[in-house]
């Protein structure tokens, strides 16, 4: 459907044409929008107000300039069979925060800085934001303690969800054992890989299980000391991981050892009361050193179920009013597919398409329902729970990742970080972006398919997201952006099982002579969950992974004068840029 602006421009053109006829002047026929040649008028770009759900995550936004890659001349399809994606280059959905392409590091993924393969890949990837120190392990992490030296008020055993006491299993920041990373090695990894930003998750559990007279003050002091030590290297902080969860340290405590009258089970209200103590101490520490930090509060992301704990069921409704605006942003985690389910490729990709919008709608409605103000939303962990067919290490996981990135931008999240960079093989039930070395016949640090999809999505992504209207096949998904230097970008995803040819058209854009693209697809191994990926036809001789020379693979390119048409591989993607006139 044409916009009112386009209809008006055609009406004006027709009127001028009639006027020319009256003056016996040959009429000038304008090129239709999206013709692949030129457009008569280009509507000026006006940025919309920054969404409250993004806010300060756009503070570091910078205009992007496109540099044409080296390319190989390629043929284009003759026809797209009515499959058309139309990009409106002047209708801005949002400026794109750099924090949307983040990742999670963790304490058990080696020292990192002494792993040249990893450092090369993470430098090439440029996540822009890397979370630390882990997920649940964050709530038993003492950032400034030597290995085996827990604070005197940290008990050797912690209570689990069923009331049993078990070894605390603390993690430490002052270590040098080779198989895990220290706090300083995390900072050095960020620096060496291109000064990536960080998100640091504070040990909130210590405020619950600590045995001092005032465990909340002790934990908040530990957090504030980290802010001082950090000295402005990190702006984004979280208080706790999934604190509402019965799997989290601090959810249930041994009240016989508690000295400040805390209840056995955590509630959203109690977390909020503690959050305010943490935030006050941490902000004061930041002010002392002349730095600005932002602190996020753990939020539940979806409607609750009857079988869930009372803590989960009442978390948002008791936390949000008690916070009373003390948090700078809200934190959500989501693993998209049903827990421990052998989900199909179609179900996984449908979740990627639907969950980000549904989650954003739910969380913002909860905030409003319980008297809070809309603030930035940070999705600091995302992945899938699908397992049993090596879904997590597959090409489909890569397609899933590309869709999640596109939907996160479109639905105006301030930050998104994939879980995680390295995990454990577990017969393919492995969230790691890289092989951990336990995968048979696959060297450690071999990138998984998701790496390649995220790398090329980011490589050609512009700085503003704009609409991409789709006509034709329901299997086409499209995410478009523009560069401040004038070009348009599109990531075209095919969720179906057969290739689809698509023509890219546009409004409010004057195309240049060429367009460039990378084609990404899986192999024919492992049914619908291929463990391989190829880029412009280049792949790997290994059982899994993709081309080692991904960073130097030449783009495909063709003249734009005959239309911009490409064939999207089955369960694959095309990432492209059309040059400007």
Query: Is the pLDDT reported for residue 8 higher than 90?
Result: no
Query: Is the pLDDT reported for residue 43 higher than 50?
Result: yes
- For β-strands 141-146 and 171-174, DSSP reports them as parallel
Q: How far apart are CA 566 and CA 326, in angstroms?
A: 50
Mean pLDDT value across residues 194-215: 98
Find where tokens 């002010």 sit: 287
Domains of the chain by start residue, with CATH:
4-49+64-94+466-580 (2.60.40.1180), 98-459 (3.20.20.80)
Residue 333 binned pLDDT confidence (cut-offs 50, 70, 90): very high
| Position with higher pLDDT, 26 vs 484 | 484
Query: Is the pLDDT reported for residue 536 higher than 70?
Result: yes
| Position with higher pLDDT, 264 vs 33 | 264
400-443, pLDDT tens digit by residue? Answer: 999 999 999 999 999 999 999 999 999 999 999 999 999 999 99
Find where tokens 């998209």 sit: 336
Question: Considering only 23-32, 311-320, 335-344, 487-496, which range has the smallest mean pLDDT?
Answer: 23-32
Q: How far apart are CA 223 and CA 220, in angstroms?
A: 5
Mean pLDDT value across residues 177-188: 97
Residue 336 binned pLDDT confidence (cut-offs 50, 70, 90): very high
pLDDT at 539: 98
Using CA atoms of 496, 418, 130, 158 in order, give the dihedral in degrees to the nearest 10. Answer: -170
Q: How far apart are CA 533 and CA 530, in angstroms?
A: 8
Model pTM score = 0.93
Residue 41 binned pLDDT confidence (cut-offs 50, 70, 90): confident
230-246, pLDDT tens digit by residue? Answer: 999 999 999 999 999 99
Mean pLDDT value across residues 269-288: 98
Find where tokens 């109690």 sit: 270
Query: Is the pLDDT reported for residue 252 higher than 90?
Result: yes
Question: Considering only 28-37, 458-467, 470-479, which range has the smallest mean pLDDT?
Answer: 28-37
Mean pLDDT value across residues 466-479: 98
Q: How far apart are CA 567 and CA 503, in angstroms?
A: 9
CA distances (Å), origin 525, targets 187, 395, 530, 532, 560: 39, 10, 5, 8, 35
Selection from 290, 287, 244, 291 nearest residue 268 by Cα: 244
Residue 40 binned pLDDT confidence (cut-offs 50, 70, 90): low
pLDDT at 7: 33
Query: Is the pLDDT reported for residue 330 higher than 70?
Result: yes
503-522, pLDDT tens digit by residue? Answer: 999 999 999 999 999 999 99
pLDDT at 398: 98
55-88, pLDDT tens digit by residue? Answer: 999 999 999 999 999 999 999 999 999 999 999 9
b/e map 391-424, b = 16+ CB within 10 Å: bbbbbbbbbbbbbbbbbbbbbbbbbbbbbbbbbe
Mean predicted lDDT score pLDDT of the chain: 94
CA distances (Å), origin 571, targets 371, 389, 399, 402, 492: 43, 16, 7, 11, 11
Residue 26 binned pLDDT confidence (cut-offs 50, 70, 90): very low
pLDDT at 17: 35
Selection from 575, 578, 545 nearest residue 406 by Cα: 575
Query: Is the pLDDT reported for residue 28 higher than 70?
Result: no
112-144, pLDDT tens digit by residue? Answer: 999 999 999 999 999 999 999 999 999 999 999
> Is 292 within 8 Å of 286 (Cβ atoms)?
yes
Mean pLDDT value across residues 364-368: 98
Residue 13 binned pLDDT confidence (cut-offs 50, 70, 90): very low
> Coil, strand or helix: which one is 119?
helix
Planar angle of CA 245, 246, 247, nearest 5 degrees: 85
Query: Is the pLDDT reported for residue 20 higher than 60?
Result: no
CA distances (Å), origin 568, targets 1, 173, 354, 399, 518: 24, 46, 21, 12, 10
pLDDT at 174: 98
């Amino acid at each position: 459907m044409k916009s009112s602006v386009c209809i008006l421009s055609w009406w004006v053109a027709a009127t001028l044409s009639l006027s020319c006829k009256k003056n016996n002047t040959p009429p000038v026929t304008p090129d239709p929008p999206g013709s692949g040649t030129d457009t008569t008028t280009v509507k000026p770009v006006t940025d919309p107000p920054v969404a409250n759900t993004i806010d300060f995550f756009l503070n570091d936004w910078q205009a992007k300039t496109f540099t044409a890659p080296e390319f190989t001349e390629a043929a284009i399809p003759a026809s797209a069979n009515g499959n058309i994606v139309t990009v409106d280059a002047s209708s801005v959905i949002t400026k794109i925060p750099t924090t949307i392409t983040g990742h999670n590091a963790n304490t058990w993924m080696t020292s990192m800085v002494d792993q040249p393969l990893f450092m090369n890949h993470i430098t090439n990837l440029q996540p822009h934001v890397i979370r630390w120190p882990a997920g649940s392990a964050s709530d038993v992490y003492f950032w400034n303690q030597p290995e085996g030296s827990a604070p005197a008020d940290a008990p050797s055993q912690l209570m689990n969800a069923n009331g049993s006491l078990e070894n605390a299993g603390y993690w430490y920041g002052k270590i040098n054992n080779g198989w895990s990373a220290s706090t300083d090695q995390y900072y050095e990894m960020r620096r060496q890989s291109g000064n990536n930003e960080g998100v640091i998750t504070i040990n909130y559990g210590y405020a619950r299980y600590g045995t001092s007279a005032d465990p909340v003050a002790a934990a908040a002091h530990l957090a504030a000391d980290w802010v001082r030590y950090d000295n402005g290297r990190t702006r984004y902080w979280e208080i706790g991981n999934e604190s509402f969860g019965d799997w989290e340290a601090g959810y249930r405590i041994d009240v016989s050892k508690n000295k400040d009258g805390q209840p056995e089970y955590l509630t959203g209200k109690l977390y909020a009361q503690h959050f305010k103590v943490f935030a006050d101490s941490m902000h004061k520490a930041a002010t002392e050193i002349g730095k600005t930090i932002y602190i996020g509060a753990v939020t539940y992301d979806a409607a609750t179920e009857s079988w869930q704990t009372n803590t989960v069921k009442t978390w948002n409704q008791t936390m949000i009013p008690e916070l009373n605006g003390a948090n700078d942003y809200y934190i959500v985690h989501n693993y998209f597919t049903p827990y421990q389910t052998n989900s199909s490729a179609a179900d996984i990709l449908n979740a990627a398409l639907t969950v980000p919008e549904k989650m954003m709608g739910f969380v913002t409605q909860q905030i409003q329902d319980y008297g809070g103000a809309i603030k930035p939303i940070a999705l600091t962990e995302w992945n899938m729970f699908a397992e049993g067919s090596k879904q997590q290490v597959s090409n489909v996981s890569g397609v899933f990742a590309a869709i999640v990135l596109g939907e996160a931008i479109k639905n105006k999240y301030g930050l998104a970080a994939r879980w995680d960079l390295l995990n454990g093989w577990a017969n393919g039930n492995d969230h790691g972006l890289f092989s951990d070395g336990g995968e048979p016949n696959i060297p450690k640090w071999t990138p998984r398919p998701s790496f390649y999809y995220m790398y090329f999505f980011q490589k050609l992504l512009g700085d503003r997201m704009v609409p991409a209207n789709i006509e034709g096949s329901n299997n086409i998904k499209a995410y478009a952006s523009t560069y401040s230097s004038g070009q348009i970008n599109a990531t075209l995803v095919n969720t179906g099982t057969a290739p689809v040819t698509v023509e890219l058209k546009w409004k409010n854009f004057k195309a240049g002579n060429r367009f460039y693209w990378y084609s990404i697809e899986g192999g024919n191994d492992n049914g619908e969950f291929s463990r391989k990926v190829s880029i412009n036809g280049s792949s790997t001789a290994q059982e899994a992974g993709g081309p080692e020379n991904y960073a130097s693979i030449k783009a495909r390119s063709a003249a734009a004068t005959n239309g911009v048409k490409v064939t999207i591989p089955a369960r694959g993607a095309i990432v492209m840029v059309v040059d400007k006139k």
